[in-house]
Amino acid sequence: MTVHVKAEPVMHRPGTPAWLTGLARFCAGLRYEHLPEPVVARTLQVIGDCIAAIAAGAQEPETIALARRMAPTDEATGAAVIGAGRRTSLSLAAFLNGTAGTMLELDEGNQFCRGHPGIHVVPAVLAAAGRLKASGRDIITAIALGYEIGARIGIASKLRITMHPHGTWGTVGAAVAVAWLERRDPAGMIETINVASSLGLSTSRRTMLEGGTVRNSFAGFSNQIGLMVSDLVAAGFTGEADGLGTVYGTVIADDWRPEDMVAELGQRWEVARNYFKRHACCRYNHGALDALAEIVSQEGGRIDPAAIERVDVATYIWAAQLAGQEPHNMLAAKFSLPFSIATTIVHGAATVPAFREPARTDEAIRALARRVFVREDPAATAKLPALRPARVTIALKDGRLLEAQAMTNRGDTEDPYTPAEVRQKYFDLSVPVWGQPHAEAIIAAVDALPGATDLSALDTLLAAAPITRT
């Protein structure tokens, strides 16, 4: 019996797509002088915001234990492990800083790419900048560019609904930022993008919904891998001809639109339309918390939890998924709208301590969270993505109903925090770690980056030990 096997067609490597060639030329040719002043100003805000989020996140038990296990000794010539008071290898510092930066759900983000570009790029650039003797302007340019490329991939693709955006396209953003510091030419940028596209994580959305804290490492891996991509490309490793098209068009995402990678390139900057967070929890909760703040303000600044019969929240589908009333750890608490509402009522704000273990196990908060009920409002879902509506209704035991609605999140492009509010957030997170004088010195060094010849002044400050540990 003769078996006939049909041969697969010969696979030929396609040419580089025109959009990728244009993107690579833009990346290689970008200079600090090309950045509009608002882009520079916002990038400096993002750097300060990320540093504060990292330092505060580095004080959590898991991140303390991880740093002690992975970087047990201080390496004098290494990069700063921010908030840990030690140095380690560039790769490990980038990983630890990226991981710490997502611990508290306070890192900035970009609503248009549906993710958090800054924390995927800033740790890698800070780690690489010292070795590469980058100037302050170099650091700003690399971060703005890495942010741009990562965010544009998020805009140009639609990650599968089961995916978590952390650890995916941020890897490419980090790699491009480091490649820019390495002064890669257009061909090197193409190779960097193609190699990095294959190295993002296949992250699960359920980690955040279930409180799986492995999720906090995703951004750490993006920064670490971004640094590794530079070494791979320098050593001669190659990717496929259009890695982004394959990975984000057929593997982990759908609806790949490469034209969005170059639309208004150099004119519309994603870092300039980011958002900052003040509530220390998932952004899907923020609209409801903003509506709650309006109710509390109308009631004179406080509502007695014992006076509340129940709380109802009607919101869009993604926020409505966060309806669990019994979170089992801090991350789950941050992704629980009932707990977020309850702890905010008790504490007066959605602060960092409002989600830590003493708050999570507080029986008054837990009892109130069991009286918070969340449902999807199809009309609110229909307003996505332009708006993120949430209506909060509090039924008091005396029969009164208190109600307010928010259409957007405070801090979003449509309703941004003022520079003073962003700066106050920086101090709220950094002062408990280092004290007021040191926190002021760090943010002054960030503000001075446009005139800095290198990273040394800021780097020395970031390596300082926290005052909160023994």
Mean pLDDT computed over 72-81 = 92
- Is the pLDDT at 9 greater than 90? The verdict is no
Q: What is the dihedral of CA 280, 272, 379, 260, to 10 degrees?
A: -120
pLDDT digits (tens, 9 = 90+) for 289-324: 999 999 999 999 999 999 999 999 999 999 999 999
Mean pLDDT computed over 11-37 = 94
209: confidence class by pLDDT, cuts 50, 70, 90: confident
Using an 8 Å Cβ cutoff, are 40 and 450 in contact? yes
Query: How far apart are the C-alpha atoms of 406 and 428, rounded to whole Å?
Result: 25
Please give the pLDDT value at position 413: 87
396 - beta bridge partners? 308
pLDDT digits (tens, 9 = 90+) for 421-467: 999 999 999 999 999 999 999 999 999 999 999 999 999 999 999 99
Q: Nearest CA to 66 among 50, 52, 84, 54?
A: 84
30 to each of 25, 100, 156, how far by Cα in Å?
Answer: 8, 30, 21
Mean pLDDT computed over 160-185 = 96
What pTM was estimated for this model as a whole? Answer: 0.94
- Is the pLDDT at 470 greater than 50? The verdict is no
- Is the pLDDT at 143 greater than 70? The verdict is yes
Strands 372-376 and 308-315: parallel
Say what percent of the chain tops pLDDT 90.
Answer: 92
pLDDT digits (tens, 9 = 90+) for 244-268: 999 999 999 988 999 999 999 999 9
Using an 8 Å Cβ cutoff, are 308 and 396 in contact? yes
Round the average pLDDT of the chain to a whole number and report it.
95
Query: How far apart are the C-alpha atoms of 169 and 174, rounded to whole Å?
Result: 9
- Is the pLDDT at 273 greater than 60? The verdict is yes
88 - beta bridge partners? 79
Please give the pLDDT value at position 457: 97
Residues comprising the chain, all counted:
470
Mean pLDDT computed over 80-90 = 97
Mean pLDDT computed over 143-159 = 97
Instruction: Lowest mean pLDDT of 157-161, 215-219, 228-232, 269-273, name the range.
Output: 157-161
Q: Tell me which of 207 and 5 has the higher pLDDT.
A: 207
- Is the pLDDT at 362 greater than 90? The verdict is yes
Single-letter amino acid, residue 356: R
267 to each of 36, 135, 148, 227, 339, how far by Cα in Å?
Answer: 9, 24, 11, 28, 41
Say what percent of the chain tops pLDDT 70.
Answer: 97
Please give the pLDDT value at position 15: 87
